[in-house]
């Protein structure tokens, strides 16, 4: 029973569920105070099998996180232009909140791998508010940090919110593979799985895997000059 209770906070986060609807508002705080929902031991975990290069020998897994945010795009042609049907969106970065997924990962990685698809359906505001509530209820920190792109266009991962002073990475992409083709009719494509190398900071390698959403439409037809697409993914950090 305790193992499944560990999943309750992440289920609430991924579904934006209401405590009161389940009649849990009076008992949930006392339950969660005694549950490990963050900072679990991940030393025995391995990166999900994929075609990306393996982590460099000698590095150790530091964090397993769930990222929820947007992939950002621009279109050089407006929707009224006759060329918009052939122009393609250009990726111009991303932003995401990084949530601690160490406990669910150490419990069952199969469950972990299904969470990005659930999490991408949660409004960003709802995900952050729910996380703040869970932090308060459990006395633990589920929001580990954030991901964004610098003014120079470099991907940046900042985990200093709950980690050490050097738990960050200004990174560069070194490998990419297409996400498995599994999107449903009418849904956005999943962005690629990536390996990134840290060029500054204590985090040396970052993997983005098990992506859900984030892919742009095939053309700029009907799209504004800039737009975002919701996504979620697992991020694995090595140092």
Q: What is the pLDDT of residues 73-89, one digit of tens each?
A: 999 855 455 556 679 99
Mean pLDDT (the chain) is 83
Four-residue CA torsion sign, 191, 194, 199, 204: positive
**Structural domain harbouring 23:** 2-238
Q: Which band of pLDDT confidence, cut at 50, 70 and 90, is reported for residue 10? A: low
Number of folded domains that form the chain:
1
Between the alpha carbon of residue 46 and those of residues 37, 65, 73, 74, 166, the distances in Å are 20, 14, 32, 36, 23
Residue 132 is predicted with a pLDDT of 66
Over residues 191-204, the mean pLDDT reads 98
Q: What number of other Cβ atoms are within 10 A of residue 33's Cβ? A: 11
Helix (H) or strand (E) holding 45: none
Segment 33-52, tens digit of pLDDT: 556 778 899 999 999 999 99
44 by DSSP, 3-state: which? coil
Segment 96-155, tens digit of pLDDT: 999 999 999 999 999 999 999 988 988 877 666 666 666 665 667 788 999 999 999 999
Residue 218 is predicted with a pLDDT of 92
Residue 202 is predicted with a pLDDT of 97
């Amino acid at each position: 029973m305790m193992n499944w209770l560990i999943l309750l906070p992440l289920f609430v986060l991924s579904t934006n569920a209401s405590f009161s609807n389940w009649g849990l508002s009076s008992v949930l705080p006392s339950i969660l105070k005694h549950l490990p929902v963050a900072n679990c031991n991940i030393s025995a975990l391995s990166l999900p099998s994929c075609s990306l290069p393996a982590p460099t020998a000698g590095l150790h897994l530091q964090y397993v996180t769930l990222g929820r945010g947007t992939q950002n795009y621009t279109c050089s042609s407006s929707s009224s232009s006759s060329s918009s049907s052939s122009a393609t969106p250009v990726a111009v970065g991303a932003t995401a909140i990084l949530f601690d997924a160490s406990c669910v990962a150490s419990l069952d990685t199969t469950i972990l791998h299904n969470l990005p698809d659930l999490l991408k359906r949660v409004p960003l505001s709802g995900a952050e508010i729910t996380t703040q509530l869970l932090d308060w209820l459990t006395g633990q920190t589920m929001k580990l940090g954030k991901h964004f792109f610098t003014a120079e266009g470099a991907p940046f991962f900042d985990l200093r919110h709950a980690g050490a002073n050097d738990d960050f990475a200004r990174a560069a992409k070194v490998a990419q593979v297409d996400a498995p083709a599994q999107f449903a009719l009418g849904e956005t494509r999943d962005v690629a799985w990536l390996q990134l190398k840290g060029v500054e900071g204590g985090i040396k390698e970052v993997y983005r895997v098990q992506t859900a959403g984030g892919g742009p439409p095939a053309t700029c037809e009907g799209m504004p000059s800039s737009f975002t697409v919701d996504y979620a993914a697992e991020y694995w950090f090595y140092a």
